[in-house]
Amino acid sequence: MIKNLTLLLLIFLNSCGDSPFLEEKQGTPLIASEQLQSGLSLPGGLYNFTPKWRSGPNIGSESRIQILVTNSEDRPTSIEGDLTLMLWMPTMGHGSFPVTVEEVGVGLYEASQVFFTMPGYWDIHFQVTNGDDMQEVLWGFTL
């Protein structure tokens, strides 16, 4: 029985591809898709982010993202603290111009000045800062 389970586990593990997030810190939920099938959840599930492209994603010119933030009860909620989006290209080791984030309604945020300067793999870090505490979740995709 144990042998069979071990064999199944090995087959399952071998069927997984390389994660582009393997070098990211532990505990960060990993999602690699340009179009999200579900939202991004912070560790602990305090907030869930559902991003939607309002413009783009473009290379060179500005892209804009609308973000719906919901709580653990799946209701739109304003973030206690600050929401920051940071672009990062892990393969190149650099970021981009600072993204501007504005709350336009309860739980509804607009991110502007999103500039991807080259094609390739990008991460968008959704960071929530409250005092000294910072939590983040990544959205990764290839342009």
Partner 1 sequence: MKPKWRGPLVVIFNVKSKGIKMRTLFLVLITLFNVSLLAEECELKFTGTPYCASLEWTKGPLLNDTSAFTLTILDETTMMPISPKEEIDIYSWMIMHHGHNHGGPLFGFTEVSEGVFKVDEARFFMGGMRGHWEIRVDLKEGDTLISQIISKVPLK
Binding site for partner 1 (CB under 8 A): 60-62, 87, 92-98, 113, 115, 117-118
Instruction: Quote the least distance from Cβ 61 to partner 1, whole Å.
Output: 5
* β-sheet bridge partners, residue 55: 64
Nearer to partner 1, 19 or 61 (CB): 61
Find the DSSP H helices in the chain: 2-15
Instruction: Quote the least distance from Cβ 128 to partner 1, whole Å.
Output: 21
Nearer to partner 1, 75 or 94 (CB): 94
Nearer to partner 1, 9 or 92 (CB): 92
Instruction: Quote the least distance from Cβ 102 to partner 1, whole Å.
Output: 16
Distance of alpha carbon 1 from its chain centroid, rounded?
Answer: 39
Query: Does residue 64 contact residue 55 with C-beta atoms inside 8 Å?
Result: yes
Write the DSSP string, 38-59. S-EE-TTSS-EEEEEEEE---B
